Amino acid sequence: MDAVEIQSVTKTFGDLTAVDDLTLTVPEGSVYGFIGPNGSGKTTTMRMIVNIFYPDRGTIRVFGTESHGTSSAHIGYLPEERGLYRKMKVRELLEFYGELRGGRKVTAEVDGWLRKFDLFQWGDQKLETLSKGMSQKIQFIAAVVPSPKLLILDEPFSGLDPVSADLLRDAILELRHRGATIILSTHDMHVAESMCDRIFMIFRGKKVLDGTLESIQGQYGSDTIRVSSNGDAAALNGLPGVERVRDLGQVQELRMAQGCDPQEVLRALVGRARVSSFSIAKPSLHEIFVRIAGPAAEEVAVA
């Protein structure tokens, strides 16, 4: 069974169409990445899945059920805008959220998660005494206690230090191994590439990408060359058949025009600088994102 089936959904706010005729299926047990520029419709889509917003048109089914005006005990939701009752004590707050969603006492699960995140000793402290990073972890626990069948995480890693981010990543993957379906939105393309089974990109309310990383990259072919050389990025400008040079510091990424021969590029490059590595690759997700939503795409769209 699919965890989420979104069928021809449109959502407008006044004159703005936030989500436009979206159809999407999230298979059960998968990690599905939502990417897209700010304001493209990711959060609105997530809010519609958890029934905070209702679609103007179309249907959304969660585990085969279309629910309107009710909340589901099976969905855990971590919103992008973090906020909890700051005057409450950590354990009280987590038990409140857990009982509210699950309809039962969740004391043991709360303690387990607090230990996992090394926050057990903070259980009797008020939330307002915690650091921002700690509060974010608490909010994550509030979203996953009791264990949800579908976990929706809007920018779960934003603002976290690398250690906390790793902890959170492990926790998400553990939930996935236990059978949960994960939907997460992120601006970190590396996270999307490394964690997600499938990736969905929304741009100006419309679906522009949907599939596995491989299939998405396959749509663009092997049109990218990664080069390391002793010359700087300026030395690579004007290479035959190269449309765009992206300087990543130690490595430069070249995008080839259609019909460009990489051997010609290599020959021209060797004449300009000493090449230490040269590889032909599919475009990264970051590159694809920029091609769709970057300034160049904007210009094309305007033209």
- Site of interaction with another protein (CB under 8 A): 47, 50-52, 69-71, 75, 77-79, 81-88, 96-97, 99-101, 103, 139, 142-143, 152
* 273: Cβ contacts below 8 Å, ≥ 6 apart: 229, 230, 231, 235, 236
Residue 109 to residue 101: CA distance in whole angstroms: 13
Task: Pick the closer one to another protein by CB: 87 or 177.
Answer: 87
Using the minimum distance from each CB to another protein, give the nearer residue, 85 or 170. Answer: 85
Closer residue to another protein, CB minimum distance, 10 or 228: 10
- Nearest approach in angstroms of CB 127 to another protein is 10
Contacts of residue 179, defined as CB under 8 A and 6 or more positions apart, other chains included, come to 29, 149
Smallest distance, Å, CB 27 to another protein?
22
Question: Based on CB atoms, which residue is closest to another protein, 81 or 214?
Answer: 81
User: Which CB, 74 or 255, lies closer to another protein?
Assistant: 74
Taking the C-alpha atoms of residue 135 and residue 65, their distance in angstroms, rounded to an integer, is 33
Contact predicate 143/77, CB 8 Å: yes
- Between the CA of residue 250 and those of 203, 222, 233, what are the distances in Å? 31, 21, 10
Q: How far is the CB of 135 from another protein (least distance, A)?
A: 11
Q: Is 172 helix (H, G, I), strand (E, B) or coil?
A: helix
> Rounded to the nearest whole angstrom, what is the least distance from the CB of residue 233 to another protein in the complex?
40
CA dihedral sign, ordered 160, 27, 76, 117: negative
